[in-house]
Structure 1
Amino acid sequence: KEQDAHRKAIDVYTFLGIEPGITVADLWPGGGYNTHLLSRLMGDDGKVYCMMGFYGSGRYDTLDKIEERIKEANLSNVQIFSKPSDLPVGSIDVMVSIRNYHDAKTPRDQLLAELHAALKPNGILGIVDVATDHPGWDDETHRLNEQVVIDECTSNGFELVESSDMLRNPDDDHSIRGFDEGRHTMDRYLLKFRKVAK
């Protein structure tokens, strides 16, 4: 709960057009923070697809933790999928990728093609990741330049609809690493993409 003020999850969901009763996908959910919130928000008429693995994500295997959370909290509207290609085609209204797009194995064209296929026409892909002044990927700080994400997505069937500064932190000098103390206050970008016909 101490991180809630920094995550601004409900504000992020609102920005992306997430509302009760739709089908959302939590991409690579970690410990299930967003899966849990989305499940409550979706209600009985909505669905949450919990997509466990991006490519190359073996060291982040949290399936047991997710299954336990679903059971203990009775998140009955959550379904687990192992990989992007398992997601039902044309079934999802909004996808969220919260601070994990950078961990997907490059090139990400196949990943984006599978996400594109799973979205409904005009479906939304929302990406939050950590900002850097470094061009491209900064392995030292575990940050990915915003323009890389924009270029990759717009080259693979998505259009950038809008971006938001709600998660920005001008006091972050971009030297904090993704695993350091204070990582929850890092400067982050929020991008909203829409699926377009390829």
Structure 2
Amino acid sequence: MKSYSMLALLFLGTTSLLHAQASSPPSYVTDAVSDSARPAAEKQLDSDRKPAALVAFAGIKPGDKVADVMPGGGYFTRIFSKVVGAKGHVYAVVPESYASKAPPERLKSIRALVADPVYSGNTSLEVRPFERLDVGAPLDVVWTSQNYHDVYGAVNAAFSVSGSTGPEQAAKLDAAVFKALKPGGVYIVVDHAAAPGSDGRDAHTLHRIDPATVIAQAKAAGFVLEARSALLSNPQDTHEKPIFAPEIKGHTDKFVLKFRKPVR
């Protein structure tokens, strides 16, 4: 019990430090978030999604090469593009399985983003299999937000890898991320939290996953868990409802994990 208490105190101290660091993001991050080119509808989400603090936590900086895996409509892609600047690059990575099976309108927003002159100079759309994230250059950061549970839970055919079950798909994703990152590179996973000890049980039904499951899989791929943040936590979420339930939608308890590829 004593060792557990010491571990809990260490975790709380680390979390407090992370919050202190994230409270004052660099100007290149705040400038990217406040950029006038961002759609008003996306800016309205900022108070809940806390992009400036998250990007600062990830350590994304000018000149970085960043992969935004399963970018949705490009909420974070736009911000990353402005942060990394002309000397960096953002790869919006859409799984080949998703691109081939999802309705075309699902990719309309991200295709429009990479074609927009505001972003096209340093942003590209990459359609490739889960297990191959090579983009032609070692990456500084790989980011995936609210997607890991979809891969692990094999939520629908669009997230499938031929011959793999859900947990195996997620393991292949982690292995591909590890290979694509440069030594010392960072892997960020943000997702909806499931009840502690639930493993991946709720990934398919509630669209949630236990962070301990993500940590175990990432470590198996070779990553080291460097930090975790409570920036998006919500203690009022009981983890019992699907993330789309009206009373919790947009305000689920989310975890933020920062893994690092060892230098050696």
C-alpha distance in 1 between matches for 2:52 and 2:187: 16
Give the deviation of 1:124 after TM superposition.
Answer: 0.3
Cα distance per residue 1:78-134 (max 9 Å; x no partner): 121112414236610011111101111431222222111110011000000111116
Give the deviation of 1:7 after TM superposition.
Answer: 0.6
Match of 1:21 in 2: 63
C-alpha distance in 1 between matches for 2:261 and 2:97: 21
Match of 1:40 in 2: 82
C-alpha distance in 2 between matches for 1:145 and 1:89: 33
By percentage of residues, which structure has more helix?
Answer: 2
C-alpha distance in 2 between matches for 1:173 and 1:29: 27
Letter in 2 for 1:128: V
Letter in 1 for 2:193: A
Provide runs of 4+ in structure 1 moved above 6 Å. Answer: none
Equivalences for residues 82-161 of structure 1 within 5 A: 82-83=127-128, 84=130, 85-88=132-135, 91-104=138-151, 105-107=166-168, 108-133=170-195, 135-137=198-200, 138=202, 139-161=204-226
Quick check: 2:114–2:124 contact (8 Å CA) kept in 1? no
Stretches of structure 2 that go unaligned for 5 or more consecutive residues are 1-42, 152-165
Match of 1:66 in 2: 110
Stretches of structure 1 that go unaligned for 5 or more consecutive residues are none
Letter in 2 for 1:145: D
**Quick one: structure 1 residues 188 and 29, their matched pair in 2 at CA, closer, same or farther if it must change by over 3 Å?**
same
With structure 2 as the length reference, what TM-score do the two structures score? 0.69
C-alpha distance in 2 between matches for 1:54 and 1:179: 26
Give the share of equivalent positions with the same residue, in percent: 32
C-alpha distance in 2 between matches for 1:166 and 1:131: 13
Match of 1:183 in 2: 249
Quick check: 1:22–1:93 contact (8 Å CA) kept in 2? yes
Match of 2:48 in 1: 6
C-alpha distance in 2 between matches for 1:90 and 1:44: 16
By percentage of residues, which structure has more strand?
Answer: 1
C-alpha distance in 2 between matches for 1:60 and 1:9: 28
SS in 2 for 1:14: helix
**Quick one: structure 1 residues 131 and 80, their matched pair in 2 at CA, closer, same or farther if it must change by over 3 Å?**
same
**Quick one: structure 1 residues 185 and 152, their matched pair in 2 at CA, closer, same or farther if it must change by over 3 Å?**
same
With structure 1 as the length reference, what TM-score do the two structures score? 0.90
**Quick one: structure 1 residues 103 and 197, their matched pair in 2 at CA, closer, same or farther if it must change by over 3 Å?**
farther
SS in 2 for 1:79: strand
Larger Rg: 2
More relative contact order, 1 or 2 (CA 8 Å, 6+ apart): 1
Give the deviation of 1:197 after TM superposition.
Answer: 6.8
Letter in 2 for 1:136: D
Give the deviation of 1:60 after TM superposition.
Answer: 7.4
Quick check: 1:170–1:187 contact (8 Å CA) kept in 2? yes
Quick check: 2:235–2:253 contact (8 Å CA) kept in 1? yes
Name the Cα RMSD after superposition: 2.2
The number of residue pairs the alignment matches comes to: 198
Quick check: 1:20–1:42 contact (8 Å CA) kept in 2? yes
